Amino acid sequence: MTIVLLLSISVVVAAAVYLMLSRDLFRVVIGLTLLGAGTNLVVFAAGRFASVTPPLLETADDAAAAAAANPLVQALVLTAIVISFALLCFSLVLGARLRSAANSDDTHSLQSAEPPATDAVKPAEIKP
């Protein structure tokens, strides 16, 4: 089961990196969200994954607890999901504002955050 989880983490992270290398503003945002999802799976894997016993125990049953999944990681992942969801919302609104302000969703044309190369005091732009 762990190997399945591992494979899915690698697929999700690979997709995230692919999207984040894109020039499209929103693909990058989706890529970030996927990266967050991949990370959540990594943290999730930190609690025993193969267990079939639910982490909620009626009493302090040590024998059952030994076979149970670690409940704390679920709490951590839930928190991380909430945070990445808030982040997704914010970046979508920011991206929408940016697109309507710049009339473009191409990250290359948004390079204009850099001062124009014609500045007298700035050395000539070095082309990569």
Partner 1 sequence: MTERPLLLEYTARMVYWLMIAVSLWILLRGHNAPGGGFIAGLVAVAATSLMAIVYGCDRAQRAMPLAPLPLTGFGILLALASGVPALFSGQPFLTHAWWNIDLGFTTYKLSTVLAFDVGVYAAVWGAFSLYLLALLNDEGDTA
Partner 2 sequence: MIESHISLLLVVIPLLAAPVTALLPGVRLPWLTALLVSWVCFALAIWQFALVMDGSVISYELGGWAPPWGIEYRIDIVNAFVALIVAGMAAITLPYALRSVEQEIPKHQIPLFYSMFLLCMDGLLGITLTGDIFNLFVFLEISSLSSYTLISMGRQRRALTAAYQYLIMGTIGATFLLIGIGLIYAETGTLNMADLSNRLPAVFSHHTVHTAFAFIVVGVALKLAMFPLHLWLPNAYTYAPSAITVFLAATATKVAVYVMLRVVFTVFSTGFTSDTPTDDMFLLLGVLGVLVASFYAIYQGDAKRLLAYSSVAQIGYILLGIGFASALGVTAAVVHIFNHALMKGALFMAVGALVYRIGSSHITQFSGVGRQMPWTFGALVLGGLSLIGVPGTAGFISKWYLVLAAIEQQAWLIAAVILVGSLLAVVYVWKMVEVLYFRPASDTGETYREAPLSLLVPTWLLVIANIYFGLNADLTVGAATTAVQVLGGIPQ
- C-alpha to C-alpha distance for 31 and 14, rounded to whole angstroms: 10
What is the nearest approach in angstroms of partner 2 to the Cβ of residue 83?
Answer: 5
Tell me what percent of the chain is helix, strand and coil, each rounded to the nearest 5: 65, 5, 30
- 22 touches partner 2 by CB under 8 A: no
Q: Which is nearer to partner 1, 42 or 98 (CB)?
A: 98
| C-alpha separations of 32 from 7, 80, 90, 114, 117 in Å | 19, 13, 12, 23, 30
- 28 touches partner 2 by CB under 8 A: yes
What is the nearest approach in angstroms of partner 2 to the Cβ of residue 61?
Answer: 18
Contacts to partner 1 by CB under 8 A = 78, 82, 86, 89-90, 92-93, 96-97, 100
